[in-house]
């Protein structure tokens, strides 16, 4: 009976850390793909960005994967704290909040600095589609930051005592 309990706990932990690894890989891919676009936007304020279809596809796929892994974890898998330490919990929460710095900076540069300087705006349907994608990406990064925040809080908490064994 104890072996089954241990195996079930291992599976839950493996599912959690597997989904967290997928989220982290997707968030890293988003940063990797979008950072050059962010730099280009800063260097050429007001100039339309030339984004290849491949880059657009990479952004959409990474965002979709991040959302799928996040919502699957949120719906079906409990947060698993590998250790309990207030200091490590704070570090993970800091990483979560820091991961959203890029999203906030991207939003600020795009909407408050870049768009007002554009000589000509894109068509309404193109602007709407791109605007929705930007918001979808920002929401994915926000969800990832929440995931790290939840993990950090779980790590901060003291371990729960084991229930008494019945004989």
Q: Is pLDDT of 88 > 80?
A: yes
Q: Is the pLDDT of residue 116 over 70?
A: no
Residue among 92, 95, 96, 105 at smallest CA distance from 138: 105
pLDDT for position 75: 98
Q: What is the pTM of this model?
A: 0.86
Residue 65 pLDDT > 80, yes or no? yes
SS3 content of the chain, % helix, strand, coil (to 5): 80, 0, 20
- Counting every residue written for the chain, the total comes to 167
Confidence of residue 167 (pLDDT cuts 50, 70, 90): low
DSSP state of 79: -
**CA gap 122, 61 in Å, rounded:** 24
159 vs 43: which has the higher pLDDT: 43
Angstrom distance (rounded) from CA 4 to CA 10: 10
pLDDT of the residue at 28: 97
Q: Cβ(151)–Cβ(81) under 8 Å?
A: yes
Task: Locate the domains of the chain by residue range.
Answer: 2-156
Closest by Cα among 59, 71, 65 to 129: 59
């Amino acid at each position: 009976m104890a072996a089954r309990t241990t195996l079930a706990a291992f599976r839950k932990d493996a599912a959690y850390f597997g989904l967290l690894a997928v989220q982290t890989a997707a968030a890293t891919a988003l940063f990797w793909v979008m950072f050059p676009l962010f730099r280009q936007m800063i260097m050429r304020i007001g100039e339309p960005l030339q984004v290849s279809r491949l880059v657009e596809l990479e952004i959409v796929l990474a965002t979709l994967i991040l959302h799928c892994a996040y919502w699957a974890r949120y719906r079906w898998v409990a947060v698993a704290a590998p250790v309990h330490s207030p200091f490590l919990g704070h570090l993970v929460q800091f990483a979560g909040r820091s991961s959203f710095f890029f999203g906030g900076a991207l939003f600020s540069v795009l909407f408050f600095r870049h768009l007002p300087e554009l000589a000509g705006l894109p068509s309404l349907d193109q602007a709407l589609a791109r605007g929705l994608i930007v918001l979808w990406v920002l929401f994915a990064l926000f969800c990832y930051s929440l995931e790290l925040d939840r993990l950090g809080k779980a790590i901060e908490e003291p371990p729960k005592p084991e229930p008494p064994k019945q004989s």
